[in-house]
Amino acid sequence: MTFTGRVPQEQIHEYYAAADIYLQTPRIDNMPSSILEAFASGLPVVSTEAGGVPAMLTHNVHGLLAPVGDAERVAAHVISLLEDAALTERLTTAAYGSTDSLVWEHVRGRWVALYRGLLNPSVMAARERAV
């Protein structure tokens, strides 16, 4: 384990490439883009169920989740990844595949539709009824 401190943006990819597992154990987090960066880098992810993390990472599909503060479960998940190559491959393949829908060419259209809907309240009302 290496504590590097702040890393310049243009060097971050080097740290993902050198890692075997992406581990984060926040108690509070919104939507950490570092999880998506780990997915795109082909790293298996272990995280806590803090904040928006479960909206990004489905347990046993894209990575492994543990309850906040449960160090034993986090450790067990890391050991699972180290001992089970098939599990690691399944998780990293699904996680990497999920990043396809997050590239700008796909996201842009959704943002434009959202903003257009905000300009036209009847469109937003129809969307809310559909959900």
Question: What b/e readout covers 86-112, taking b as 16+ CB neighbours within 10 angstroms?
Answer: ebbeebbeebbebeeeeeeeeeeeeee
Across 95-116, average pLDDT:
86
CATH number of 9-101: 3.40.50.2000
**pLDDT (tens digit, 9 = 90+) per residue, 35-93?**
999 999 999 999 999 999 999 999 999 999 999 999 999 999 999 999 999 999 999 99
Residue 113: per-residue pLDDT: 85
Q: Left (φ > 0), alpha (ψ -120 to 50) or beta: where does 84 sit?
A: beta
Percent of the chain with pLDDT over 70: 93
pLDDT reading at 129 higher than 80? no
Residue 3 vs residue 16, higher pLDDT = 16
